[in-house]
Chain A
Amino acid sequence: MTDDGRAAVAAVEAVANRIERERDYLTQLDSAIGDADHGGNMARGWAAAADAARDLDDPDAQTVAKTVGKTLMSKVGGASGPLFGGSLVFASVELDDGVTAESAVAFAETYLEKVKDRGDARVGDQTMVDALTPAVHTFKKSIETDSRPALEALAKAVDAAERGVAFTVPIRARKGRASYLGWRSVGHQDPGATSTLFILEELLAVAADQLDSEVPDVDATSPTIPDEAGTDEGTTPEPEED
């Protein structure tokens, strides 16, 4: 197995374990604003994905990503299957030449683009896009503009995602099941943004482990980069209107 492949399988196992540990928490978040199935669906999907990844014979990272994406697509169900799984299948195309800082940026950007297209969502809609967008933009900027090492860039991305998750709390859902609640969605943390953060945290931990490094301590004030479409709508909670 290539180093990339070994790391990828380890990452998938770590994510599956984490999602299983957080299963009840994710379901609890989802029961407030959705149909209380995010924890169970994700745990089932990632457990199957970890099994599928382990069963691969000497895979590279691309094969692992594609297999995990397809498994999530078939096992998670609802909208999360295409969002988490489908996007991973499309993003895996960027790993033709293995995992490098450059291909990881392309992978992350394609993943974000597919999630946004598929969900027709942008920053400020109280979705996983709120965690993913600042994470991907921060990762790209750290590598391409600031020439930081990949592990540090990933740590900054996780930090940005964390604040993206917090950002979903005071805003109103405009996409997904929660949007039906209108203003009643204000004050709730988005489950998809939360599980996205957990996935990124596990990727960071596995990456540090593979590189035999400590997780870098990042400056917690690195800016959250807004969506190009702007975030003016929905950032300020307004009074109940209906």
Chain B
Amino acid sequence: MKKLINDPDDVVDEMLDGMTAAYPERLRRLPETQVLVRDDGPVEGKVALVTGGGSGHEPTHAGFVGDGMLDGAAAGGVFSSPTADEFGALIDACDAGDGVLAIIKNYEGDVMNFETAIELAEMEDVEIDSVVVDDDVAVEDSLYTSGRRGVCGTILVHKAAGAKAAEGAELSEVKRVAQNVIDNVGTMGMALTSCVTPEKGEPTFDLGADEIELGIGIHGEPGTERTETMPADDVTDELTETVLDDLDVDSGQEVLTIVNGMGGTPQMELFVVNRRLQELLGERDIETWDAWVGDYMTSLDMAGASITVCVVDDELKELLGAPADTPALTVR
């Protein structure tokens, strides 16, 4: 398969340099690492928010580094966790002495490497805590995970906890907000095509020309059901119903929704999905407080989409609606 790359081994390194070149006033790369941090950091008087994970999910993770969201992000190889020392360098660079919250997506490599770095930071008397995001309602265990996978709902954790931290709240409060999002968010995705990793250069899984896969992850790992292609409305209904049932959303509740592109799907199709999503929520008397549409948590060039629903209370509405200024998300 054709790729606009030089050498598969250099892809992450060159991407990171390209990102700092695009946002020289926002992002800075720590020397000898794959860690990007706020150029103006560490920010005094504020809990630092750090995250990271495999590359290939852009704009996740570093795209959300900036005012009102993250303080820094570690990038691993394509679909593989950063090592514990990279997470350690990230924590060290972002800690301003007011506490650090690590936002971890639930994958074994991410969790183990981040936890090791956290424990080592604690030995150096860094005040640090963590949350694990597991919003994918499709599967319990999968190739890279015990329990549910962390996917697009993670962006809302960055946003709400980031806004809380920007208010100057203490670590326990920032963590409470992050956990509140995790407890109230669910996501399910689907694929029209497989992703193609730079290293392998061919599709990670085989999907027939007239097949789609529901419940797919963000690393080409298997989903829950393979079916014949369906109209967008039917796919939307299937994903949304599963998420709503899992979250147990009642009529009258308010939600934020995300229709997230997996990397290879045009905006046109994402808006088609959003149209049906909002129609369906209306039929169920669920009120949409805000609707996001775009590529937030991708899987390289995979065609497909995920639907995220987050039940919002007054506090979450205030925090999710608060200003943010990052390369990939701006809220005014």
State the A residues within 8 Å of B (CB): 70, 73-79, 81-83, 85-86, 89-90, 118-120, 175-177, 179-180
Contact = CB atoms under 8 A, between A and B. Distances in A.
Taking chain B's interface residues, is the majority helix, strand, or loop, or is none over half, making it mixed?
helix
B204 to A, nearest CB: 12
Given A177-B143, A179-B146, A118 B116 contact: yes
B119 A90 contact: yes
Given A82-B112, A180-B141, A74 B84 contact: yes
A93 to B, nearest CB: 8
B291 interface: no
Nearest to A90: B119
Contacts of B85: 70, 73-74
Given A73-B116, A118-B116, A179-B141, A78 B81 contact: yes
B55 to A, nearest CB: 13
Contacts of B84: 73-74, 81-82, 85-86
B222 to A, nearest CB: 9
Given A83-B112, A86-B116, A78 B146 contact: no
A50 to B, nearest CB: 18
Contacts, number: 56
A116 B43 CA distance: 36
Contacts of B233: none
Given A73-B83, A74-B86, A79-B109, 14 more contacts: A74-B85, A77-B77, A77-B80, A78-B80, A81-B84, A81-B113, A82-B84, A82-B113, A82-B115, A86-B84, A86-B119, A176-B108, A177-B144, A180-B143
A78 B113 CA distance: 8
28 contacts: A73-B84, A73-B116, A74-B83, A74-B84, A74-B85, A74-B86, A75-B83, A76-B83, A77-B80, A77-B81, A77-B109, A78-B80, A79-B108, A79-B109, A81-B84, A81-B112, A81-B113, A82-B116, A86-B84, A86-B112, A89-B120, A90-B119, A118-B115, A119-B112, A175-B146, A177-B144, A179-B141, A180-B141
Contact of B112 (A75, A79, A179, A180): A79
A34 to B, nearest CB: 10
A179 B141 CA distance: 9
Contacts of B77: 77
A85 B84 CA distance: 9
